[in-house]
Amino acid sequence: MAYSERPAINVTPRLWIAVGIAAVSVFVLALRLWHLQIIRGNFFRDRSENNRLRMVYVPPPRGLIVDRNGEVLVRNRPSFNIDFVSEDSPNPEETVRTLAAITGSPPEELLEKLARPGKRRMYEPKLLLRDVSRDMVARVTAQRYRLPGVVISVVPARDYIHGDLAAHAIGYIREISAEQLKNPLYAGYRMGDVIGQYGVESRYERYLQGERGSQAVIVNAAGNKIGEAYSHLALPGSDVMLTIDRRLQEIADRALNGKKGAVVAMNPNNGDILAMASAPRFAPAVFTTEVSKETWADITDPRGNKLTNRVSQGVYPPGSVFKIFVALAALAEGVVTPQERFFCPGYLTFGKRKFRCHKHSGHGSVDLFDAMVQSCDVYFYTVGQRLGVDRIYQYAHDLYEFGEQTGLGIGDESSGLIPSTAWKAKYFRNPEDKKWYPGETLPVSIGQGAITTTPLQIVRGLSAVINGGAIVKPRLVRKVVASDGRVLEEVPPGPEVLRTLDIAPDIVERVKKSMVGVVLDKRGTGRKAALPEASGIVVGGKTGTAQVASKESGIKDEDHAWFAGYAPADNPQIVVAAIIENGGHGGAEAAPVVREVLMAYFGISDPPPEEKKPLKKIARRPRSE
């Protein structure tokens, strides 16, 4: 058949169909590419970068805490944390359970941390275990193939060199809570950061914390680090220098071993806290790792109240230590003269009740000096009657600032209570209870009844008696120094005087002389606070024995033992107050504690046993003068 005779084929419809299909395909492809590159380009660009680059935050080393002589009390040490990047794990829950089995941790706790809300970007690690042991790091490293997304990081951790030394003053650090993250004071902090939660660690958090750094690390498909792109160094926190003397603090802490109570030593001339001991204590280091339920139960057990700083938060009836201030008020108001004598048969009858003296056989005829030296209750019952509760309040509260916080500034501080007629009328509901009865003044005049104080208030008040009448603000920090050496904060060398009292010097000297008699006189209740005669240093002070009743039963417990003293008597450099809860008599239990602190402060050691007898004979001579 000739070519020209072949039938013609019409291909135009098929061609147009093919062209249409191709055109639609190209359009769809172009639309998809436009969507991926233009609409979602940033998303995939970020995801690509996150698959390759990870931003890791580097915790800064916290500043050091040092004593007044520059000796380091708290520093940093390297520690290991176990973090988890959930995006790197195909099954995060399964991975976390595997990690729990390897480390021996409760899986519920790790899963709870994984689910805990907080500010977190994609591919940002979440802390699961803090400050783990090297053995645990080795176990986790050996099982890395089973733990996609698990990361081990090296971070600085707090190292409390001297264990529980000055625990209540220094405080502790712990992970920031969700509630704290909402507080504007913690702007810039992130979940997983550790912050000061107590004491100086908390009060000076902004100085100690430093500034976090960052690293852009290169990772492979499994999320493992294979390199580093760039980094910004973390800036160390500033160092805080305390007023505490480490050597003196150790003595104060040791003196309270096995006891409940507090010891505080202060420079009466400028308010520097030289030692602040509270017992029982806690170990700040336990908060740097996961705190077990057993440990937390022990720390918070109300029978021990280990987190209570008894120096500034413990409130106690001051007992006979308060007689110092009642004596000053009585002499200043002229209700008694130093030579006036009262007879103590061992009790004072007031109305139908007998108010007992601590010496049931009585002290006989006593004047102010005798009453202070022997701590005669009957004498001060009589003086208290003459003063009245409102004048006692005027001197104790308005002048010496008992019943007010001292402003130490390292946590919640107790105010204590000085009663008055106005106080009772305000706080009691029953009309019969609102009236102040004269018989209620008698126990107040010997530091009992409704009156309560803190050891820190006692030290501040006694300082004002012996330093010329200045109410000085106690201080615990001398200065803050940045990592580059700049001084960011520094207290002036002189005291911060809140008020200067106008009490006649001869009155003050009378009371001071009687406090020296408490320690040196052969009848004195505080003889166990005396330093060796060979030292030439004379101690003044006052004992106190405060009656207490059990909160549970109301039955009288063993008395609290007090002693507040100072030295040298003619030029005081240090004031020390000690309270031993349920310790018994102040002269027997608290006075020796104060003596230990004074001995350490002045660098005195007891003479050998064979030399003690001659020293006792020499010591009697000035007492008889």
- Spell out the domains of the chain, with CATH numbers in brackets: 54-136+148-242 (3.90.1310.10), 246-292+308-624 (3.40.710.10)
Report whether 102 contacts 139 (CB < 8 A). Answer: yes
Report whether 291 contacts 493 (CB < 8 A). Answer: no
* DSSP count for the chain of H helices, then E strands: 22, 23
Give the count of beta carbons closer than 10 Å to the beta carbon of residue 132.
20
C-alpha separations of 256 from 261, 281, 596 in Å: 7, 10, 11
Whether cis (ω within 30° of 0) applies to the bond prior to 7 is no
For residue range 76-107, what is the model confidence (pLDDT) as tens digits? 998 888 888 887 788 888 888 999 898 888 88
Give the residue numbers annotated as catalytic, written as ranges. Answer: 320
Which residues, listed in sequence order, are joined to residue 578 by a DSSP beta bridge? 263, 563
Residues in the chain: 625
Give the 3-state secondary structure of residue 401.
coil
Q: What CA–CA distance (Å, rounded) separates 415 from 423?
A: 14
Q: How far apart are the first and last CA of the chain?
A: 158
Report whether 176 contacts 199 (CB < 8 A). Answer: no
Residues of the chain with pLDDT under 50: 552-553, 555, 612-625
Report whether 219 contacts 56 (CB < 8 A). Answer: no
Q: Which two tokens stand for residue 167?
A: 């625990």
Q: What is the pTM of this model?
A: 0.83
Beta strands 65-66 and 239-242 are parallel
DSSP calls for 319-377:
GGGGHHHHHHHHHHHTSS-TT--EEESSEEEETTEEEE-SSTT--EEE-HHHHHHHT-H
The pLDDT of residue 113 is 82
Give the 3-state secondary structure of residue 482.
coil
Which residues, listed in sequence order, are joined to residue 81 by a DSSP beta bridge? 153
Q: What CA–CA distance (Å, rounded) separates 297 from 293?
A: 6
The pLDDT of residue 529 is 96
Q: What CA–CA distance (Å, rounded) separates 55 from 57?
A: 7
Distance of CA 543 to the CA centre of its chain: 27
